[in-house]
Amino acid sequence: MEAHNGQTNEVRKKAFFRPKVLLGVLAALVVVAAVAGGVLFQASKKPSFCATCHIIEPYYNSWKGGDLLAAKHAEAGVDCLDCHHKSTVAKIGEGINYLTGNYENPLKERDFSMEECLSCHKDDFAEAVAATDFGESNPHDSHLGEIECHLCHKMHRQSEVYCAQCHDFSWYKDLDKSWKTELAGS
Amino acid sequence: MIEKEIKRRDFLKGIATAGLAVAGVTALAGCGPKTTEGIKWNEEADVVVIGSGFAGLAAAIEAKNAGATVKVIEKMPTPGGNSIINGGDFAAAGTAMQKEQGVEDSPELMLQDMLKAGLYLNHVDKARIVCEQSKDALEWAINYLGAKFARLTYHGGHSVPRTHQTESASGSEVVNKMLAKLKELGVNVELRRKFVRFIQNEEGRVIGIEVRDGYKFGDEKSGTPVFIKAKKAVVLASGGFSQDVKMRTIHDPRLTEEFESTNQPGATGEALREALKIGAMDVHMDWIQLGPWASPDEKGFGYVPLFSERVIGYGPIINPKTGKRFVNETGNRKERADAIILIGVPVIHIADSYAVEKQVVPSTLEAGLKNGAIKKYNTLEEVAKTYNIPLQPFLAEIARWNSFVAKGKDDDFNCKIGKDAKPLGTPPFYVVRLWPKVHHCMGGLVTNTKAQVLNQDFEPIKGLYAAGEVMGGTHGAVRLGGVAMADCIVFGRIAGKEAANEEPWA
């Protein structure tokens, strides 16, 4: 029995290691991986895919509705991947971060550079400068010079007026609900 | 701990490099030899400047112009420190603007004023350098940087009008021109990089620094360690510690969190303390100045200082409990702040529309009226009623003040009456409340006239320079208004030039 079984296993092993079979299995694996990857890649383009992760979910929710700037981006047809993980490398990196546990919950706030914001908002900036000339001050043209957008504008939480660290300007009270307005008059 | 962090970082960098390689991008490897500590440098420059206020930026510009490669790091998300929010007054003696306006001044007179206000505790050699080079520093700001100075102003404690105010009545005029100049020279301020500690070699020379890159103010765990090699020197221009309640109450226990500060939130003392850890000497640490012209009715520095300090000598400061004056309005900051604190409640500074229209920048007045810190009243009776001032003594005191203004001499407190001041009487009357805020640390590191930081054996710490508010001694007990800008720019420039002239150690 023993000898017979051993022999069979050996034969099977040998069959498995035959180049043709091995190649066939590998090819099948590659196809499966490619299809799965493709499906995953397609699926990941949908914001709802991001929400399947419970850590990402609250950020997805702030995009899907509510008063925050993320929701305003959603209204304008801007999806998660339009800002986050634009490149395949970044996507893979995020996967690695997830697998290795290299993340914090809640997630660390990302600081997008002015260039990143302006890649869509290029023409809006000059308009913003003109629109926020409140007389007593202009947050887009102040003594601080050119400062990063994200110091005030937050996507997934309430925006904060950077000026409010030192100044009480009367225009704070006219800001919409995407802003922390309790700062005004404090 | 540090070893661990570096290893972890290298590991992460490995991953990042692999990722970048996939994308076909090459990554820069760390450079330079390892120190005895086994530090692998991530970046390097001849001169590394810590801080981006007047002193740091002046040092960076001069070092760059002397041929050095330069890095400027700043822990905050915006550049400029306190300098970008300062009132824009630059004290300088014997300038063209003074001559145009018939003001006779000299570096010697400025020095005497500084010493008198400083209770003669000033390090005279350094105070003298500030005075002697103040005119040149102002001209550098005007001619080289392109900063615009619009008017000559007066600050308490000076013998003559010698503060040159920027067009915008803000130090940002100078800081933004400095930033533009540095950009032109190819140097960008590296924001959100917090200085952690100095790295020294076996002989004690400062050879670099550790910073936290991507630091978020207030979150001490944020950011990742980066080691920057300083081939020639490090210039410490990290400012004072007015916002560091723990540190300031060590040196002056009265200055609890009950007192607000005019400073930006990042004005804390950890960088100064790192210098002390490597053996630097400090001086005058408990001389912490309160701004007597600050208002409890607005945040931070605000607009009231630019109102109150402009109308001293034109309108009296009144104790609301008695309706009477109590201090020389043109005295130095310490005399005034101490006197107000002794009264125990905010005091009243009043000026009429003649004085205010003549002295206060219209945009300042408008902003102060809008935020409510400056109020306007049609009668003195209305003022008395609003602030609960006993009316008759108040009216009598105004009459007495007016008699002093008429004869140009104050018999009670020896206030310097403004040259063209008129008796107070033209409505409307403008009123501000004053309560001091923590403003400036006179104390700091001991440096020599080359801006080298001295150690406890009175010897320069090799490779380490300091300038600006982090450096002590120049002002003694009390800094006069406008001399911060002069001090920062004069010694910032010296530190930058000297640092660039160092022999590189590597």
CATH code (residue B369): 3.90.700.10
pLDDT of residue B21: 38
**Which pLDDT band holds residue A9 (cuts at 50, 70, 90)?**
low
User: Is pLDDT larger for residue B24 or for residue A35?
Assistant: A35
Cα of B461 to nearest chain A Cα, Å: 34
Residue where the block lists tokens 């306006």: B101
Q: CA-CA distance, B75 to B84, in Å (whole number)? A: 15
Domain shared by B284 and B301, yes or no: no
Listed residues B435, B454, B487: the one ending a domain: B435
Residue among A111, A136, A166 minimizing CB distance to B300: A166
Burial of B382 (0-12, 13-18, 19+ CB in 10 A): middle
Q: What pLDDT is recorded for position A46?
A: 83
The C-alpha atoms of residue B494 and residue B348 are separated, in whole angstroms, by 42
Q: Is residue B163 part of a domain?
A: yes
Measured from the Cβ of residue B386, the count of other Cβ atoms closer than 10 Å reads 13
Residue B10 has pLDDT above 80, yes or no: no
Considering only B8-12, B223-227, B244-248, B354-358, which range has the smallest mean pLDDT?
B8-12
Q: Enumerate the residues of chain B whose CB falls inside 8 A of the CB of residue A185.
A: none
B1 falls within a domain: no
Residue B3 has pLDDT above 50, yes or no: no
Q: How many domains does chain B contain in total?
A: 2
Which residues in chain B are contacts of A145 at CB distance < 8 A? 79-80, 84, 172, 175-176, 179
Strands B460-466 and B43-50: unpaired
Instruction: Pick the range with the lowest mean pLDDT from A167-171, B99-103, B164-168, B453-457.
Output: A167-171
Q: Which of B23, B85, B179 sits opposite A89 (nearest CB)?
A: B23
Does A96 contact chain B (CB < 8 Å)?
yes
Angle at B386 between CA B383 and CA B389, to 5 degrees: 70
| Mean pLDDT value of segment B268-293 | 97
Q: Which of residues 4-23 of A touch B (CB under 8 A)?
A: none
Is pLDDT of B410 > 90? yes
| Residue B26 within any structural domain of the chain | no
pLDDT reading at B8 higher than 50: no
Report the residue from B78, B85, B168 with minimal CB separation from A147.
B78
Of A87, A93, A167, the CB nearest to B299: A167
At A14, give phi and psi (nearest 5°). Answer: -60, -45
For residues B255 and B235, give the distance between their C-alpha atoms in angstroms, rounded to a whole number. 29
Residues B492 and B402 in one domain: no
Domain-embedded: residue B393: yes
Q: Which residues contact A151 (CB under 8 A, 6 or more apart)?
A: A162, B77, B78
Q: Which residues pair with B177 in a beta bridge?
A: none
Q: What is the ipTM of this complex?
A: 0.76
Radius of gyration of chain A (CA): 26
Cβ neighbours of B243 in A, within 8 Å: none
Find chain B residues with C-beta within 8 A of A170's C-beta.
370-371
Which of B24-28, B216-220, B470-474 is predicted most confidently? Answer: B470-474
Select the residue from A102, A162, A166 to test the B interface by mutation, using most B Cβ atoms within 10 A. Answer: A166
B404, B435, B466 - which closes a domain: B435
CB contacts, 8 Å: A137 with chain B: 367
Most confident segment among A101-110, B282-291, B358-367: B282-291
**In contact, B161 and B152? CB cutoff 8 Å:** yes
Write out the residue range of the structural domain in which residue B279 sits: 38-290+439-506
What 3 state SS string does A87-150 have?
A: CHHHHHHHHHHHHHCCCCCCCCCCCCCHHHHHHHHHHHHHHHHHHCCCCCCCCCCECCECCCHH
Cα separation, B404 vs A132, whole angstroms: 47
Does residue A6 have a pLDDT over 60?
Answer: no
Average of pLDDT values for A58-74?
Answer: 95
Average pLDDT, chain B: 93
Residue B432 has pLDDT above 70, yes or no: yes
SS3 content of chain B, % helix, strand, coil (to 5): 35, 20, 45
B-chain CB neighbours of A169 within 8 Å are 371
Q: How many CB atoms lie within 10 A of CB B376?
A: 14
Is there a contact between A136 and B366 if contact means CB atoms under 8 Å apart? Answer: yes
* pLDDT tier for residue B118 given thresholds of 50, 70 and 90: very high
The CA distance from B69 to the nearest CA of chain A, in Å, is: 24
Interface test with A, best of B78, B181, B301 (most A CBs within 10 A): B78
CATH number assigned to the domain comprising residue B464: 3.50.50.60
Q: Cβ contact (<8 Å) for B302 and A166?
A: yes
Lowest-confidence segment of A87-96, B158-167, B300-309, B397-406 by average pLDDT:
A87-96
pLDDT in tens, B36-82: 568 999 999 999 999 999 999 999 999 999 999 999 999 999 999 99
| pLDDT reported for residue A8 | 55
- Give A14→chain B minimum CA distance, Å: 36
Nearest to A136 among B79, B265, B370 (CB): B370
**CB burial of residue A12 (10 Å; 0-12, 13-18, 19+):** exposed
- In this structure, what token pair is assigned to residue B117? 């206000």
CA–CA distance, A154 with A150 (Å, rounded to integer): 6
**B397 part of a folded domain:** yes
- Of B204, B357, B347, B368, which is closest to residue B299 (Cα–Cα)? B368
The answer to whether A138 touches A132, Cβ cutoff 8 Å, is yes
Evaluate if residue A184 carries a pLDDT over 70: no
Using CA coordinates, name the residue in chain B closest to A92.
Answer: B19
CA B243 to chain centre: 12
pLDDT for res A118: 93
Phi, psi of B62 (to 5 degrees): -65, -40
- B313 and B421 Cβ atoms separated by less than 8 Å: yes
* Closest of B355, B330, B301 to residue B161, by C-alpha: B330
* B176/A165 CB distance under 8 A: no
**Domain assignment present for B351:** yes
Please indicate, yes or no, if residue B305 is contained in any of the structural domains.
yes
Q: Which pLDDT value is given to residue B4? A: 40
Same domain, B81 and B227: yes
Which pLDDT value is given to residue A23? 87
Q: With pLDDT > 70 as the criterion, what percentage of chain A qualifies?
A: 88
Average pLDDT, integer, range B263-275: 97
The residues of B that are catalytic are 333
pLDDT at B7: 44
**How far apart are alpha carbons B210 and A165 in whole angstroms?**
29
On whether residue B89 sits in a domain, the answer given is yes
CB contact under 8 A, B77 and A148: yes
pLDDT the model gives residue B188: 96
How many whole angstroms separate alpha carbon B99 and alpha carbon B79? Answer: 34
**Alpha-carbon gap: B175 to the closest alpha carbon of chain A (Å):** 9
Give how far B29 is from chain A: nearest CA, Å: 20
Helices and strands (H and E) in chain A: how many: 8, 0
Across the interface, of B23, B80, B371, the residue whose CB is closest to A168 is B371
Q: CA B67, B68, B70: angle at the middle one, nearest 5?
A: 135
State whether A169 and B371 contact (CB < 8 Å): yes
Residues of chain B neighbouring A168 (CB-CB closer than 8 A): 298-299, 371
Q: Classify strands B437-441 and B288-291 as parallel, antiparallel or unpaired.
A: antiparallel
In a shared domain, residues B418 and B452: no
What pLDDT, in 10s, does the model give residues A17-56? Answer: 677 888 888 888 888 888 877 777 777 778 888 888 888 9
Q: For position A94, what pLDDT does the model report?
A: 82
Examine the domain organization and report whether B193 and B213 are in the same domain.
yes
Write out the H or E segment, with its range, that includes residue B334: helix B333-343
Displacement of CA B304 from its chain's centroid (Å): 18
Asked if the Cβ–Cβ distance from B78 to A151 is below 8 Å, we say yes
* Weakest mean pLDDT among B119-128, B254-263, B479-488: B254-263
Within this chain, do residues B119 and B225 fall inside the same structural domain, yes or no?
A: yes
**Any chain B CB within 8 A of the CB of A101?**
no
DSSP string of B342-375? HH-S-EEEEEEHHHHHHHS-HHHHHHHHHHTSEE
Q: Does position B269 have pLDDT exceeding 80, yes or no? A: yes
Per-residue pLDDT averaged across B445-458, rounded? Answer: 98
Q: Which of B12, B15, B219, B301 to mutate to test the interface with A (most CBs of A within 10 A)?
A: B15
* CA gap B498, B49 in Å, rounded: 13
A85 against B434, higher pLDDT: B434
Q: Domain check: are B225 and B76 in the same one? A: yes
Residue in B15, B23, B168 nearest the CB of A143: B168
Q: Using alpha carbons, list the distances in angstroms from residue B103 to B107, B153, B163.
A: 13, 11, 11
Q: Per residue in B469-506, pLDDT tens?
A: 999 999 999 999 999 999 999 999 999 999 999 999 98
Give the pLDDT mean for B317-334.
96
- Which chain B residue's Cα is nearest to A90? B19
Interchain contact A146–B (C-beta under 8 A) = no
User: In this structure, are B269 and B297 located in the same domain?
Assistant: no
Asked if B68 and B170 sit in the same domain, the reply is yes
**Least trusted range by pLDDT, from A67-76, A89-98, B24-33:** B24-33
SS3 B73: strand
- In what helix (H) or strand (E) does residue B199 lie, and over which residues does it extend? strand B193-200
| B212: its two tokens | 């936290």
Beta-strand ranges (E) seen in B421-492 are 429-434, 437-441, 444-445, 452-454, 460-466
Reply yes or no on whether the pLDDT at B9 is more than 60: no
Alpha carbon of B472: minimum distance to chain A alpha carbons (Å): 27
Are residues B318 and B263 located together in one domain of the fold? no
Q: Which residues contact A133 (CB under 8 A, 6 or more apart)?
A: A141
Is residue B493 located within the same domain as residue B393?
Answer: no
Q: B160, B157, B163, B152: which is closest to B105 by C-alpha? A: B160
At residue A13, the pLDDT reads 58
- CA nearest A164 in B: which residue? B299
Residue finishing a domain among B418, B435, B452: B435
Chain A nearest-CA distance from B392, in A, is 35
Q: State mean pLDDT over B363-384.
A: 95
CB atoms within 10 A of CB A60: 19
Residues B70 and B112 in one domain: yes
Structure tokens, B264: 């930006």
